[in-house]
């Protein structure tokens, strides 16, 4: 097996900034074949933003790849802005880009929070979707949010202890509320330490096997810390179990679900529940992977899915 299954690095054929309201301006990229099959890439987080690696899951000779930094993420401005930032508005942004690029229908590709947004978009606009490639499923339920914050201590007690340490004992009964109050305030002396603690708590458990520590990124820390706490505090702006209850709106479309067996950020039960509610879907459980899209087994399965859709227009 090659060192990486990804396609070679590639630069956008064009990119830019789009003002979507008086507060938010969104960074976007178009990559690959301008006349190819359109595919929409939705990044995780919320707030994690794009990476050049995200362009590489798709054959650029076949696909017209459209990517954008969601509100408050990456190169979009203002960074970490949580106001005017809801799932419904992100869905509107996707439709704005679809119309701007003249796309009638596209393949929708998303991982982690990107899978959440992909499902929400598809259920709102099923007629605009060709199919779905989803990774590390997050349905934004109360149980998943509780796991993200508390349940993971069964695997990473040392990280959990480090995460709760900055919060006074009297506030720890509502750890999400305590962090959100700090990160969504306007005092940088308060929100920066909280955002860095949150981002570190998540980032150190993405991969199955330990990875070399990377230098902290202020862009990632603030985007992830502020927007994840904002969306989790609002349960993703969904009704209870909405994404599973409404999956019938897209169940006629082809879908492949790629899930790491040892994903401790988005545990496999959510992928299993989605698969069981979507009879035509295919679930690929990767036996030696955690949450990271660039873990070898996960990235290989994602590329295999884009290649299969290229050849057949479905997933067998």
Residues 184-213 have pLDDT tens digits of 999 999 999 999 999 999 999 999 987 776
**Any idea which residue has 């979009």 for tokens?**
76
pLDDT at 300: 97
Helix (H, G, I), strand (E, B) or coil at 60: coil
Residues belonging to the chain:
316
Return residue ranges of the chain for CATH 3.40.50.1820: 14-139+238-312
Is the separation of the CB atoms in 302 and 134 below 8 Å? no
CATH code at 14-139+238-312: 3.40.50.1820
**Element containing residue 310 per DSSP (H, E):** helix 296-312
Give me the active site residues, please: 112, 263, 291
Per-residue pLDDT, averaged over 251-280, amounts to 97
Whole-angstrom distance, CA of residue 271 vs CA of residue 260? 10
- Per DSSP, which regions of 33-143 are E strands? 37-42, 63-68, 106-111, 129-135
Whole-angstrom distance, CA of residue 1 vs CA of residue 14? 33
Is the separation of the CB atoms in 237 and 231 below 8 Å? yes
Per-residue pLDDT, averaged over 44-51, amounts to 96
Is the separation of the CB atoms in 109 and 39 below 8 Å? yes
| pLDDT bucket at 20, cuts 50 / 70 / 90 | very high
Q: Tens of pLDDT along 88-143?
A: 999 999 999 999 999 999 999 999 999 999 999 999 999 999 999 999 999 999 99
Per-residue pLDDT, averaged over 242-267, amounts to 97
How many whole angstroms from its chain centre is CA 129? 18
pLDDT at 218: 86
Whole-angstrom distance, CA of residue 17 vs CA of residue 3? 34
pLDDT exceeds 70 at position 169: yes
Whole-angstrom distance, CA of residue 42 vs CA of residue 48? 10
């Amino acid at each position: 097996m090659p060192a990486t299954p990804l396609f070679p690095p590639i630069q956008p054929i064009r990119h830019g900034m789009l003002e979507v309201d008086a507060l938010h301006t969104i960074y976007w990229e178009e990559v690959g074949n301008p006349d190819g099959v359109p595919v929409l890439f939705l990044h995780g987080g919320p707030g994690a933003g794009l990476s050049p690696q995200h362009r590489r899951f798709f054959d650029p000779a076949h696909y017209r790849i459209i990517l954008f930094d969601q509100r408050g993420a990456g190169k979009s401005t203002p960074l970490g802005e949580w106001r005017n930032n809801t799932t419904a508005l992100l869905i509107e942004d996707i439709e704005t880009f679809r119309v701007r690029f003249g796309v009638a229908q596209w393949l929708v590709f998303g991982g982690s929070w990107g899978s959440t947004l992909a499902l929400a978009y598809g259920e709102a606009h099923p007629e605009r979707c060709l199919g779905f490639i989803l990774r590390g499923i997050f349905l934004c339920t109360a149980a998943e949010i509780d796991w993200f914050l508390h349940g993971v201590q069964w695997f990473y007690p040392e990280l959990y202890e480090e995460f709760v340490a900055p919060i006074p004992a009297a506030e720890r009964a509502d750890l999400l509320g305590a962090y959100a109050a700090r990160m969504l305030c306007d005092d940088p002396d308060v929100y920066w330490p909280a955002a860095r603690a949150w981002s570190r708590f998540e980032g150190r458990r993405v991969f199955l096997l330990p990875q070399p520590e990377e230098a902290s990124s202020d862009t990632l820390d603030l985007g992830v810390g502020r927007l994840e706490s904002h969306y989790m505090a609002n349960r993703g702006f969904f009704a209870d179990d909405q994404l599973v209850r409404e999956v019938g709106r897209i169940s006629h479309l082809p879908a492949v679900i790629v899930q790491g067996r040892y994903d401790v950020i988005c545990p496999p039960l959510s992928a299993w529940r989605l698969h069981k509610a979507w009879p035509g879907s295919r679930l690929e459980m990767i036996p030696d992977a955690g949450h990271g899209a660039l873990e070898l087994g996960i990235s290989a399965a994602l590329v295999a899915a884009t290649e299969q859709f290229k050849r057949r227009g479905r997933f067998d």
